[in-house]
Amino acid sequence: MSSVQINNPTGLVAGDLMVAFLAQNNPGSPIVSTATGWTNVLSRNHTSGSTVGTSVYYRFATAADISNGSFTFSFTSSRRSAGAILAFRGVDTVTPINVSGSQGNNASTSLTAPSITTVDNNAMLVSLYGFVQGSNSATPPAGMTEAFDAATGAGPNGVTIEGAYAIQPAVGPTGTRVANAAATSVNIGVLLALSPAATTLAEYRFDEFAWGGAAGEVLDSSGNGYNATGFAGATTTVGSPAYTSGSQSTCRYGYFDHVGVTRSYVQLPASLPQMDGSYSVAAWIRSPSPNLQQQRIFANDDNNDGWGLSLADSTTGGVRLFNRNVNFTSTSGAGAGSGGVILQTPNNVIAANTWYYVAATVNAVSKQARIYVYDTAGSQRALTTGTYTGTWCESGTCTGATAIGGETSASSEGQQAGFHFLGHIDEPRIYQGALTQAMIQSLLTTVRTCPVGAPDHLQIEYPGDGLTCTPSTVTVKACANASCSLLYTGGGVSGTLSPGGASFAIGIAGFTSATVNSTTSPATLSATYTPATPNGLTCLNTVTNSTSCGMNFNNAGFLFAAAADGIEATIPAQVAGTASGTYYLRAVRTGTTTRACEAALTGTQSVNLGYQCNNPTTCNGSNLMSVNGGTPTVIARNDNGVSGSSTGVNLTFDANGNAPLTWTYGDVGQVTLLANKTVGGALLSGATNSFVVKPGGFVVSDIKQTASPQVANPGAGGAAGARFVMAGESFTATVTATTSGGVATPNYGRETQPEGVNLATALVLPAGGSNATLTNGLIAGGSFSNGVATATNLSWGEVGIMTLTPGVGDGDYLGAGDVAGTTTGNVGRFYPAKFAISAASLTPACVPGAPASAFTYFSEDGFTTTFALTAQNLTGGTTSNYRDAFAKLDLALYGSYGFSATALPAGSSLSSSASAPSGTWTNGEATVTAKHQISRPTDLTAPTSAALTAAPTDGEVPAASPAMVLGSTLLRYGRLQLLNAYGSELLALPVTLRAQYWNGSAWVMNTDDSCTAITAPTSGSGLTFYSEVAAGAPGNHLSATETTATVNATGKLAAGDAGLRFSRPGSGNSGYVDISIPLAARPWLQFPWGISPVNPGLNPTGLNPTGRATFGIYRSRLIYSRENY
C-alpha cells in the first residue's frame, strides 16, 4: 500500500504528544513522505539493505486533530506497511524528545533497541520495533508495558510492529531494551526518551507566622512533602506583599539577613531530588542593597561543586546564575562577565526596596539556560540566555544541601556574613523541567486569600501566689511555637481573663500585662479570646516553673508596687549596674470585715529577700544583686525554679505596710525578686514578675591582626596613617558585655537562646565611600564566657578607616530592645589584598590590514597595552574605596605595574615609553593605557614573539605571583635601506627607500610596514647638492631648484616602500644629489651603514641610510620596455 490511515489513540485530548511509528517492507529510507504538521524524529532502514524500513514522527494534538479522528501517512512506494500512534500527556512542549537512538539487527528472535542516556529525571522511554514477516508477533522488553503488537500478514512480504513504554526515574543510561519475536526476523529497534513537562517539586509560600529552627517548619505547599527548616534567624513578616490583586496577594514573606541577623537561610531537605536534569527555580525578591555582593537566592554550593542563583554577584544590581560544572559558550542579552561557569544579566535590573520576580530555567536537552527578571507590573527587565557544554550536576557534584536565602553553615562561605540574601524572598518554587516564558509570567500573578493570623497558643505567666485582697498582675503571651520561645507578632489578639474578668489585647510585641483577682484559693486561670488558637492555652508559674493553671490566692503576703498602697506592679526592663526606680514592698493581709488590704507589718522589719535567675536558668557563682531599703545589702541567688536561698534585709514599713526599696543587679538576664517572712507562724511571701535586666553597654577591645605578627590596630587618622590589615583579612577583637559601670556581666551569652553581639561598621574615611558589611560581625552568644567573647575571624572587605559599634546580636535583648555599645576609635587603615587585571589587550606598534601580521620593531616606541586594573580584597571583591589619597598606586608611574617581558633575546630589555602611563582611579577600578619599548638585542635576531606581563604593586599590596599576562607582540629587528639610483634627466627618478627586517638569515623587505611615517628629504634636510660646472663642461649640472623629492602621499610607508621619487630636472640638468634619511627620531630603523668616505658630513654617525641619485649618466640603450604575462 502507498498510504496508511491510523485512528487517534483512545482518550486523546488537545495538548497530548502523539508519537507515530511506521514500518514498511521496503529496503529504502525514509519510507514516509513529509507528513504535514508532524516532526520527523528519525528514519532508517536496515544497514544490510534487508527489506524493512522505519520512521518516527511526533506532533502535539489540537482540537481539530481530535475532531478529524485519524491521520493518513503516505509512502514513497507501494509496499506492505504498518503504523501506530501513541499518545502521552505531560510532555515538555519545547523539547519533547529528550534523546533517541536506533539500530538495525540481523535475523534473530531478539529485537534490540540501543541504550541511550537520558538527561531528565522521570523520562518516558518508548521502545519501537519494526521487523520483516507479516505473520510474526512479539512480547515487550522486561519492565515495559506493551502499547501495540500489529502485523500485516503476507508472510515474508509483510511487516510486524511492536511498541512498549516505561518510566526511567533517574538520569543515566537506559541499557538496551530487548523485545522477543515469535519467529526469527531481520529487525530495527528504536528507543525514545520523552522529556516530562515542568512539574512542581516544591513550593514554599512562606506564610508561617515565624520560624524558630524546628525541622520541617517551612511548609511545602506542593503536596510533595519537601518541608524545609529556617536557620540563623530567618523568619517571616508581613506588611508589603510582593504581588496584590484585589483582595488577594502573596501574603507573608521570608525575612532574611537584616539588622542583627546574618547568615540566615532556609535549608531544603536532603530528600529533594538533585537538579541533574532540566529544572527551574523562581521567586520574588526585594533587597534594600541590591549592589551588596554575593546575595544567594537559591544555592547548592556548600562544597564548591554546585550551582546558585544570586543577586549582585560580580554585578551591580544584576542577577547571576552559575554552575561550576558547565561552560557557557554563547550568550544573548547577557551582562559583562558572562561565560565559563557564569551567566548573568546586565547591571541595574534590580533597584533597592522593590519587589522583582526572578526565575532561572535549565534545559538539559537543548543545553540552554535562561534568567528572567520581571517587575510587579509584569514588564520584563531582563531575559538572558546562555548555551552551555557539560552536565549541570553530574555524578559526584552538587553534593551539598540546597538552600534558599544563603549557603548553609556547612560551607565556609555559608559561615560568612556574605553569601546570604539581604532582605525579603517570597514564593520560592522549584520545578523539574524547564518552564516556558508564558508559565513564568503566569506564576508572577499567582495570588491567594491570605490565611487568618493566629498564634499557636496563649500562655498565662504568673509570679507565684496572689493575694485575695488585691488584683495580681500576670503576663499573657501569644506564642508562635509550642515552647513559646517565639512570640506571635501579628497582633490582633484580645480577650478576657478569669478569674476577675480583666480584658487584655496583645499587639505586635507579642505579650501584654493584665490582672486576675480571686477571693478563693486555688483558682483556675483561663481566658476567652479571639482569634482561636490551634493549641489552646497554657500556664506557667515563673517562680516554681509549674505549668499548672491553678493559682493560689493567699489572705496575707507581700507584693511589689510602683507606689505606696498601689497594686502589684509589672517591673519593666532594667539596666545592669543601674539602680532601679523606687518600688514598694507591701506587707498586706485581707481584712476580716472589709476584705480590703491592710498592713501586715509596720516599722523596721528584717525581710528575707532573694533573686531567682529565670533566663539564663542558672546564676553566676557570685551574688550580684543588692537591695537598698536604707542600707545596700547583697542578697542570695537562686537558680530557676528554686527559691530557698535568701538574705535578711532591714526594711521600714509605714502604717499601711509600705516599705520603699531599690535594687541593683550586676548581671544580665531575666530575673525574679523574691520576698518572704514568717509572722506569727504564718509565712508571708511574694515575688515580682520575671523582668529583664539588659547590659549597660558593650566594649570592644584588643583589636589586632589574627595572623602573625598580630599587628595591633594603629587607629589611623587618615590615608597617610599606618596600615592595619588587608581588606578581607581576618582580624581579632574582644567584646565585653558590661554593666553601666563598665564591669563585665558574666551571664551574657548564656541565655536559653544565647544572645550574641553584632558589630556594626561606620565608615570614617574616605568620605562618601562604601561601608562594607563586617564579615562574621555577628558574634554568637555561645562563644561568650563570663560576659566576654573574642572573635578571631572578623574581616572588612573594603579599603579605608572605620569604627565598630557593638549591639545586641538580634537587636532585641530578651524582648527589652537593643543596647548601644561604646563605639571604638578608628579601626584601620585597611588596604587592598591584591590587584587584578582584566580585559587586557596589547596593540603592536604597527597593525596592518591583517592583524596576524601586526608587529613592533625592536627599540620602537612603541606597543601599547590597555587593561582594567582593580583593587581587590582577599576574596576577590572590588575595594571601591581605593581612590583619592587611599589609592597608593600611582597610575602615571611606569614602575607601579611591575611590567616584564618574556622570551627576549640577549641584550634586549623592556623599558617605558617616552609617554607616561595614564589612568584614573574610580571606585577601586582604573582603565590603564601604557606604552612600552623593547631594546634591540646584541646581535641580529630573527622575529621574536614576546609576552608582556604585569605584577602591579603600590608598595603595600604584594605584587601578583605569578604575574598576569597582558598579551604578546611580534618583534622584528628592522632598518631603513636606501639604494643609489640613476636615470635620464628627462624622466622622474624613483629611488629605493624601504623598510627591512632580519628574518634569521637575510634582510627582507617588511611588506607589513604601512605604519612608519616618512618625510621627503629637502635641500635643508637630507639632500646635499653640489656646485655646478660651466655649461658644456663635464661635471655636475644639477642644482636644488631643478629637482624635488617626494614620498607616498600618505606620509607613510606603503607595504614597506617609501615611494621616494625625484622630479625630472630637464634637458641640460644632468648631475647628482646625495641623500641621507635622518632617523634620530626613529632609532629602531637605524643601522651601522658607515660614514661616507666621499662626504663624511652626510652621515656623521654612520647610522642613517645614505645614497646618491644621478641624472644623465649610465643611460640604458633601451628606449622603452614592457612586460606582458
What is the pLDDT, as a whole number, of residue 35? 66
User: Of 929, 870, 940, 864, which Cα lies nearest the Cα of 907?
Assistant: 940
How many beta carbons lie within 10 A of that of residue 76, not counting itself? Answer: 15
Using pLDDT thresholds of 50, 70 and 90, give the confidence band for residue 30. Answer: very low
Among candidate residues 1011, 1015, 977, the one with its CA nearest the CA of residue 997: 977
Half-sphere exposure of residue 1069: CA atoms within 13 angstroms, side-chain side: 18
The CATH number, out of the four listed (1.20.120, 1.10.10, 3.90.320, 2.60.40), of the domain defined by the range 697-827: 2.60.40
Q: Which residue has the cell 544572645?
A: 755
Rounded CA separation 1062/1082 (Å)? 23
Q: Give the three cell numbers for residue 1114.
A: 649610465
User: Cell numbers of 163, please?
Assistant: 511498541
Q: Which residues contact 948 (CB under 8 A, 6 or more apart)?
A: 842, 865, 899, 900, 901, 910, 932, 965, 966, 967, 968, 969
CATH 2.60.120 fits 199-324+391-444, yes or no: yes
Tell me the three state secondary structure of residue 641.
Answer: coil
pLDDT above 60: residue 31: no
pLDDT tens digits for 493-521?
889 999 999 999 988 788 999 999 999 99
Provide the 3-class DSSP secondary structure of residue 610.
strand
Distance from the Cα of residue 777 to its chain's centroid: 20
Q: With 60 as the cut, is the pLDDT of residue 1115 above it?
A: no
Comparing 332-336, 388-392, 487-491, which segment has the lowest mean pLDDT? Answer: 487-491
- DSSP assignment of 849-900 equals SSGGG-BEETT-S-EEEEEEEEEE-TTS-B-TT--GGG--S-TT-GGGG--E
Which residue's C-alpha cell is 519492565? Answer: 143
CA 994 to chain centre: 58
pLDDT in tens, 671-708: 999 999 999 888 999 999 999 999 999 999 999 999 99
Q: What is the mean pLDDT of residues 953-972?
A: 88
CA 703 to chain centroid: 30
Burial state string for 221-243 with b = 16 or more CB within 10 A and e = fewer than 16: bbebebbbbbbbbbbbbbeebbb
d(CA 236, CA 234): 7
Beta strands 537-541 and 457-462, pairing class: parallel
Class of domain 555-692: mainly beta
**How are beta strands 1071-1076 and 1106-1111 bridged, if at all?**
antiparallel
pLDDT for position 1125:
60
C-alpha cell at 788: 566576654
Task: Tell me how far apart the alpha carbons of residues 900 and 181 are, in angstroms, rounded to a whole number.
Answer: 74
**Of 1041, 1110, 1048, whose CA–CA distance to 1073 is shortest?**
1110
Distance separating the N- and C-terminal Cα atoms of the chain? 67
The label of the residue with cell 541567688 reads: 637
Could you tell me the CA-to-CA distances from 689 to 521, 611, 726, 811, 856 in Å, in that order? 20, 11, 50, 23, 87
CA distance 139 to 135: 14
Q: 8, 101, 104: which is closest to 59 by C-alpha?
A: 8
Residue reference for cell 637605524:
1086
pTM over 0.85: no
Q: Give per-residue pLDDT as tens, 895-949.
A: 999 999 988 999 999 999 999 999 999 999 999 999 999 999 999 999 999 999 9
Q: What is the tens place of the pLDDT at every residue in 309-350? A: 999 887 889 999 999 888 998 899 888 788 888 999 999 999
Closest CA to 475 of 447, 441, 448, 502: 502
Cβ atoms of 899 and 832 within 8 Å: the answer is: no
Q: Which positions ≥6 away from 440 have C-beta within 8 Å?
A: 280, 282, 357, 359, 361, 372, 374
Segment 795-808 mean pLDDT: 95
388: Cα separation from own chain's centroid? 19
Identify the CA nearest to 302 among candidates 227, 402, 425: 402
The grid coordinates of residue 92 equal 515538555
As given in the structure block, the three cell numbers for residue 424 are: 525579603
Per the prediction, the chain carries an average pLDDT of: 91
* pLDDT at 524 (0 to 100): 96
Separation CA 312–CA 315 (nearest Å)? 5
Residue % of the chain over a pLDDT of 90: 67
- The region of weakest confidence among 255-264, 348-357, 592-601 is 255-264
Handedness of CA 477, 478, 482, 487 (dihedral sign): negative
Residue 473: strand pairing partners: 515
Alpha-carbon span 232 to 212, nearest angstrom? 9
**What number is the average pLDDT over the span 393-401?**
82
Which one-letter amino acid corresponds to residue 1123?
E
Radius of gyration of the chain (CA): 45
For the cut 60, the answer to whether the pLDDT of residue 492 exceeds it is yes
> What is the grid cell recorded at 661?
526599696
Please list, in sequence order, all residues whose beta carbon lies within 8 angstroms of the beta carbon of residue 243, skipping any fewer than 6 positions away.
249, 250, 284, 355, 357, 376, 444, 445, 446, 447
Mean pLDDT, residues 107-117:
93
CA–CA dist 969, 845 (Å, integer):
9
> 152 — phi, psi (to 5°)?
-90, -15
Q: Rounded to whole angstroms, how far apart are CA atoms 1124 and 1108?
A: 31
The pLDDT of residue 238: 85
pLDDT tens digits, one per residue of 1052-1089: 999 999 999 999 999 999 999 999 999 999 999 999 99
Contact (Cβ atoms closer than 8 angstroms) between residue 349 and residue 339: no
* Cβ 293 vs Cβ 438: under 8 Å: no
CA proximity to 9, closest of 126, 88, 63, 123: 88
φ, ψ dihedrals at 437, nearest 5°: -60, -40
Which residues neighbour 936 within 8 Å (Cβ) at sequence distance 6 or greater? 858, 859, 907, 908, 973, 1084
Q: Which pLDDT value is given to residue 50?
A: 63
Mean per-residue pLDDT, 1041-1052: 95
**Measured between alpha carbons, how far is residue 754 from residues 750, 781, 807 in Å?**
5, 5, 14
C-alpha cell at 475: 503576663
pLDDT at 416: 79
**Residue given cell 514598694 in the structure block:** 584
Interior/surface letters 210-220, b for 16+ CB within 10 angstroms, e for the rest: bbbeeeebbbb
Nearest to 45 by CA among 19, 73, 72, 79: 79
pLDDT at 771 exceeding the cut of 90: no
CA-to-CA dists, residue 994 to 492, 796, 976, 1044, angstroms: 94, 61, 6, 19
pLDDT at 156: 83
3-state secondary structure of 313: coil
Q: What is the mean pLDDT of residues 291-298?
A: 91
Of 2.60.120, 2.60.40, 2.130.10, 3.40.50, the CATH number of 452-552 is 2.60.40
Other residues' Cβ atoms within 10 Å of the Cβ of residue 483: 12
What digits encode the pLDDT tens for the residues 165-195? 999 988 889 999 999 999 998 999 999 999 8
